[in-house]
Amino acid sequence: MLALGKLLELTLAGHEPAAKIQLTPDGTRLRWLDEGALEVTPPADRDSGLDLLLSAGIHGNETAPIELLDRLLRAIARNELHPAARLLFLFGNPEAIRRGERYVEQDLNRLFSGCHAQTSGFEAIRACDLEHLCATFFGKSSERIRLHYDLHTAIRGSRIEQFALYPWQEGRRHSRRELQRLQRAGIEAVLLQNRPSTTFSAYTYAELGAEAFTLELGKARAFGQNQMVNLDRLEQLLCELIEGREPVDEAEGSLDGLQLFSVSREIIKHSDEFRLHLPADIENFSELLPGYLLAEDIAGSRWVVEEQGARIIFPNPRVKNGLRAGLLVVPHDGAGLV
């Protein structure tokens, strides 16, 4: 196997490879770009026209997606998987991955779309570097298809185990075809966002023109302890995309069985007085009844549930002041998809 196929090993060891470019027997080129960053280029006569960015480890303790990307890259380096797409593999936060922690100083997934310029430290530098890597990768040609899957696992359990967040951009509509892809990959629900965000997938979607998604794929566990996280369907989809052999959808436009949600409100923590009135072990997508006092903060501010069918995701009262401490989401009927 080519040494560059061991990108995860190199990243965990903090080593820079001696050879930055290697070729597989079928002519696929692997090029090391930076710590945790590897570009894969297929032979010109096999190029499908897809630029596919696969990222994991934006939070260092979310290991199941990291292991998935490692399997894919090793298969390419062993000449078992034959890319037809241009690929960029990214292990987002190398130091946090090495430590087995969510982040080193601050949440990397809140520092994109220029937010890194408003702060300092390890994650701020890394967010800037990742933006440059992605802009270069997607900037090769405006004629190519751009797709980004940012793979995560969640801090807490979820009543819907595998779900996706689909970013928002003014004047742009969400794609039914992309939702079908996610459904085929085992994604059970998609949150259609309706406002700007500073996450990694929001950056590639709004600023680089990619179809981009944050995928939540189960609960975060340590390396080697992900037997309960079933990524078989996602892995199959990624292999199909990589090799350019994705099947044609038989039922064009059908999203039967895929649950859609939209954001009703963000719960923002304004001060140290913030109190979130939820059990510490509450699961994502738990339903909240109208009238429920969800949170309180400084100056008598209160969040009371008003929406029918409201559910909570990503509740976290320990975020820094000014950041989102949870999302209230409601069912979406799929109107406005293209």
275-276 sheet: strands from edge to edge: 275-276, 293-296, 302-304
Is 296:275 a contact under the CB 8 Å cutoff? yes
Answer positive or negative: Cα dihedral of 87, 93, 98, 103: negative
CA–CA separation, 28 vs 17, rounded Å? 18
| Known catalytic membership, residue 101 | no
- What DSSP state is assigned to residue 38? E
Name the 3-class secondary structure at 89.
strand
Q: Looking at this protein, which amino acid is placed at residue 321?
A: N
CA–CA separation, 199 vs 187, rounded Å? 20
Token representation of residue 31: 């090029």
Name the 3-class secondary structure at 25.
coil
- Residue 91 makes CB contacts below 8 A (sequence gap 6+) with 7, 8, 11, 36, 37, 55, 56, 57, 66, 69, 97
CA–CA separation, 264 vs 304, rounded Å? 12
Query: Which alpha helices (H) appear in the chain, and where do they start and end?
Result: 7-13, 63-77, 94-99, 122-138, 176-184, 200-208, 232-243
Name the 3-class secondary structure at 327.
strand
- Residue 43 makes CB contacts below 8 A (sequence gap 6+) with 26, 27, 28
| Strand 293-296 to 275-276 pairing | antiparallel
Point out the catalytic residue in the list 80, 216, 246, 306: 216
Token representation of residue 223: 């390396």
Active site residues: 216
